[in-house]
Structure 1
Amino acid sequence: MGLSYMPGFGNDFETETLPGSLPQGRNSPQRPVYGLYAEQFSGSPFTAPRGINERSWLYRIRPSVKHTGRFRSTEYPFWKSAPNIGDHELPLGQLRWNPVPIPNERIDFLSGIRTMTTAGDVFTQAGMAAHVYVATSNMTNDHFFNADGEMLVVPQLGGLRLLTEMGIIEIRPGEIAVLPRGLVFRVELMEDHARGYICENYGAKFTLPDRGPIGANCLANPRDFKTPCAWFEDRDEPCRLIAKWCGKFFATEIDHSPLDVVAWHGNYAPYKYDLSTYSPVGSILFDHPDPSIFTVLTAPSGEEGTANVDFVIFPPRWQVAENTFRPPWYHRNIMSEFMGLIEGKYDAKEEGFVPGGISLHNMMLAHGPDADGYEKASRTELKPMKLESTMAFMFETRYPQMLTRFAAESEVRQDNYIDCWSGLKKRFNGTPEGDWS
């Protein structure tokens, strides 16, 4: 049990729990040692180019095909998939929510997922869904895999222990984990309750963005992404395996724990990342760079420079630009932005956007600092200043994000969000100085 460094995206990794359980020189020996079964876990087509070909070899106690019953339909009514159109009557607009409350009843991670937006089409493996999760109990004998996409998990309150068939990952607020498409796992809580966000990525898997002129250093570095060491359960007792496939849910019974991989090697694996290891770059003289400089991970769409999903963070950092409006500027964007706040304050919205909260600014809808934030940033002395104790993030996609009924009718939706811009004044008076009285 533990975590090891992932040498870099696309590179093979290997780990074993029992000495010699990982074959050397061949992937599928005729009779694997310890009586194990060899099983390939593929995350790309077999003929994908070497640089993006992803697969791992698992050596397990039982093959995944063994279960005691047929799959049957089951329901997770708050988990929606794209396309999810016409689900509510709320008109178009800039939207914001307070945190989803922690329930009083016992609810596990899977049952606690609430979809806020969907984008694209799960059937053509394009787009994403943005969820929140709330949980107060462990997944004890339930296990899950998502055939529709990989899941980027962002804790905001309480830690999670992700027990996967390839090892254990523990994440707390300020860290993230990515669970590949098809990976079997269950979730335990590290405290009494938990809350956070999930990006379900239907498209090409997350990878590191190209640095371009930035060069070899800064942003997220491959060495800081960690994969789990092999760990397994040899547990013979009734369990349930739940699958999400093409937007629907199915369950079957198995007579053992499916987390029985004794050894594995390959490049298709879960991983975690500590957001504090992100090295931000920015303007050191004047002007305001685009938020793309804060991209941790990107899922390409096939159109160069236009992401299926970007995962962007706004971490603690120095602001030093001269004669520049430092917070995010007013803008309209072809991308759609789902934002969450893990801790602290967000510099463009110091009031109303709280940890655990959410905002949604869909494609071509204008947004930017609230009136108080604009006033403060326009008048402050531009000395070097460090933003501390803050961590916001964004799931940004090329597709419009369609609201779910849960999100539209939620009691925590802020009906008055648009009022945060009502105090913006007309300052034009025909003179170069404008009216700043």
Structure 2
Amino acid sequence: MSEYKYLSGFGSHFSSEDERCPNSLPIGQNSPQICPYKLYAEQLSGSAFTAPRTENQRTWLYRRLPSAVHQPFKPFVGAKYFTQNWNEQPPNPNQLRWKPFDLPTERKKPVDFVQGLHTVCGAGDPRVRHGLAIHVYLCNVSMENSAFYNSDGDFLIVPQQGVLDITTELGKMTVAPNEICVIPQGIRFAVGVDSVSRGYILEVYDGHFCLPDLGPIGANGLANPRDFQTPVAWFNDKQVEDFNVISKYQGGLFVAKQNHTVFDVVAWHGNYVPFKYDLNKFMVINSVSFDHCDPSIFTVLTCPSLRPGTAIADFVIFPPRWSVQEHTFRPPYYHRNCMSEFMGLILGRYEAKEDGFAAGGATLHSMMTPHGPDVKCFDGASKAKLVPERIAEGTQAFMFETSLSLAVTKWGEETCQKLDAEYYECWQSLKDNFTIQ
């Protein structure tokens, strides 16, 4: 994969122009009568025009042709298991665990990123801009002469296997396992791969991902703004006569044809941008005295709801770190939660369940469904000598946590055939150790 140039910072107002076209950004105004290089000015708004300045998100694009130059949209049928129908299956409150999702390994059956989208679970309705969906992507070829955009919300993409070479309207990004990227609502992009690829996607309808407030932590810690990267301007100068634009709209997929590429933005400026982040740069905050802290201290990004402190979705990681607590059962505590917790594993072995939970698989612990360490983990941690210990080395687990109650799709519960019917057994050997002295 190619190495690309990036701008650094989260929430910053950036200006960028393709180095092949110096001075392509208008000076002093956004939309002059005639733009430099006779480009078209187009604004992409990620918030209402009248949103408060601190929340206002928009970017001005200077492109060779406006986005409106395309044929009418028609239904797209290339992603069979991509859905927002949450009524396919009856509710299932059980603890759920999926073995690694199958990869499309045969080149005779090429599957690109859009065709390889499979919805696992979700809640809400994109028509009223409330809810989320969790997908996996399973692909083996690059998107060719096509681009995808999501009218319904943001995509947070978590690669697990294979490097993604992502071209967006604002430039190019390479995103490898243990990195993430966010493609905001409406931004068009194409995904290239050089090997069989698998990963997870968190889609939110309500708003956009932002950094969590730090509160008593102070000004520094967790994911630092300077470590987020957005691409520099780049445009495709090759002639394209048959190009497909795929749109996700109100949960459905549609395609429109045009005779030019969408990747024709020569320059842009704004704060509504795609970005990537290296999870290795997360600054862990943890206990240095006693007790196991709540997992919220590992939040990388959040999509807030209208209720203070309650998220539509949090993206949480469990990175390598030191464990030093005294007089403490150090692994995650047994738990019932008013939130829904979907976990995935990028690499290694998760500390609380080293057996059965494999990279490329997932778990779902729904609202108020009890969960926690398996028998092996409980026994080991109960007897362990409490010395400073490096944990989760070579591992990266993550969690999509939401205040919404998630419904599992038919593909997730039946068709994929990866649901582990024996998951519940990991707790069955726990013993009643109660004694009265």
Question: What is the aligned partner in structure 2 of residue 93 from structure 1?
Answer: 94
How far is the alpha carbon of 1:121 from its aligned partner? 2.0
Write the letter of the residue equivalent to 2:411.
F
TM-aligned CA deviation for residue 420 of structure 1: 0.5
The aligned residue for residue 64 of structure 1 is: 67
Aligned counterpart in structure 1 of residue 226 of structure 2, from 223, 231, 240: 223
1:406 aligns with 411
Which among 381, 384, 387 is matched to residue 385 of structure 2? 381
Does residue 38 of the first structure (1) align with residue 38 of the second (2)? no
Which residue identity lines up with residue 206 of structure 2 in the other structure? G
Q: Where do residues 273-292 of structure 1 align in structure 2 (5 Å cutoff)?
A: 273-292=277-296
Partner of 1:419 in structure 2?
Answer: 425
Residues 80 and 118, structure 1, Cα contact 8 Å, conserved in 2: no
Instruction: Tell me by how many angstroms 1:4 deviates.
Output: 2.5
* Structure 1 SS opposite 2:272: coil
Match of 1:73 in 2: 75
Equivalents in 1 of 2:54, 2:213: separation in Å? 14
Matched residue SS, 1:52: coil
Contact 1:6/1:13, CA 8 A, preserved across alignment: no
More moved, 87-96 vs 160-169: 87-96
Letter in 2 for 1:390: T
Deviation at 1:6, TM superposition (A): 3.0
Residue 419 of structure 1 deviates from its aligned partner by 0.4
The answer to whether the aligner puts 1:7 opposite 2:13 as a matched pair is: no
**Alignment partners' CA distance in 2, 1:90 and 1:420:** 22
How big is the shift at 1:91? 3.5
Q: Distance in 1 between matches of 2:95 and 2:374?
A: 12
Letter in 2 for 1:395: F
Structure 2 segments unaligned to the other structure (5+ residues): none
Which range moves more in the overlay, 124-133 or 287-296? 124-133
Judge conservation of contact 2:7–2:232 (CA < 8 Å) in 1. no
1:48 to 44, 48, 51: 51
**Which structure 2 residues correspond to residues 21-420 of structure 1 after superposition, within 5 A?**
21-67=24-70, 69-75=71-77, 76-81=79-84, 84-89=85-90, 91-103=92-104, 104=106, 105-189=109-193, 191-234=194-237, 235-387=239-391, 388-409=393-414, 410-420=416-426
Q: Report the Cα distance in structure 2 between the residues aligned to 1:6 and 1:245, rounded to whole angstroms.
A: 31
C-alpha deviation, 1:141, in angstroms: 1.1
Q: Secondary structure at the match of 1:51?
A: coil
CA shift, 1:35, in A, is 1.3
Q: Distance in 2 between matches of 1:284 and 1:334?
A: 27
SS at match of 2:67: coil
Specify the code of the residue in structure 2 equivalent to 1:402.
A
Paired AA for residue 396 in structure 1:
E
Kindly provide the amino acid, as one letter, of the partner of residue 323 in structure 2.
Answer: Q
Shift of 1:179: 0.2
The question of whether the paired residues in 1 share the 8 Å contact of 2:299 and 2:317 is answered with: yes
RMSD: 1.1
Q: TM-score, normalised by structure 2?
A: 0.96
Q: State the distance in 1 between where 2:5 and 2:340 align.
A: 34
**1:327 and 1:348 in contact (8 A); partners too:** yes
Which letter maps to 1:366?
Answer: P
1:31-55 superposed Cα distances (whole Å, 9 cap, x missing partner): 0011100000000000000000000
Task: Say which SS state the counterpart of residue 424 (structure 2) adopts.
Answer: helix
Q: Which amino acid aligns with 1:92?
A: P
**Structure 2 residue aligned with 1:435:** none
Provide the secondary structure at the position in 2 that maps to 1:168: strand
Report the Cα distance in structure 1 between the residues aligned to 2:279 and 2:297, rounded to whole angstroms. Answer: 15
Q: Distance in 2 between matches of 1:70 and 1:8?
A: 36
- 1:392-423 deviations in whole A, cap 9, x for unaligned? 00111000110000011031110000000011
Give the SS at the match of 1:414: coil
* Structure 1 residue ranges without an equivalent (≥5): 432-437
- Conserved 8 A contact 1:61-1:260: yes
Conserved? CA contact 2:86–2:123, under 8 Å: no
CA deviation profile, 1:165-224 (whole Å, cap 9, x unmatched):
1000100001000001000111100x3210000001111100000100000111000000
| CA drift at 1:89 | 4.6
1:90 Cα offset (Å): 6.8
